[in-house]
Amino acid sequence: MANMELTFIAIKLDNVQHGLVGEIIKLLKQKDFYLVAMKFLQASEELLKQDYIDLKDPPFFPGLVKYMNSGPVVAMVWEGQNVVKTGRVMHGETNPADSMPGTIQGDVYIQVGRNIIHGSDSVKSAEKEISLLFKPEELVTYKSCAFDGIYE
């Protein structure tokens, strides 16, 4: 089937601490995406530096790593048709002033430095992020009994 892909989504510590993990999962399931892997963890500084390597030069990098290392996150892999693009639309923009109402970030957070969810911005970055946190055997591939009623 065309455009079936994987994406990486992390529910950041603020959202975890506010008890909104289930709400985010519910929204993604309502779009008929498949949860194929999930971990609850506190990311190490080393892992965060690898994950945010493309942001290593800006002056906010050390603060970002420190903040992300300060509490638990829920790391997930989702599968679905156009899941990367659709997931990003559901998240909203990084800047809360640019996020539309009805998006996760538009409805819940107010500061750029404390956005509450991360989603891969491309299939290539999803592959990189997934490989940092998950072994291939940790991804559970399955076909839901509702699959044929959802996808052509």
> Which residue, among 6, 57, 1, has the nearest Cα to 28 in the 3D structure?
6
Burial class (CB in 10 A: 0-12, 13-18, 19+), 43: buried
The one catalytic residue among 25, 51, 118, 119: 118
Is 118 in the active site?
yes
β-pairing, 117-119 vs 4-11, is antiparallel
β-pairing, 4-11 vs 34-41, is unpaired
Q: Return the active site residues.
A: 118
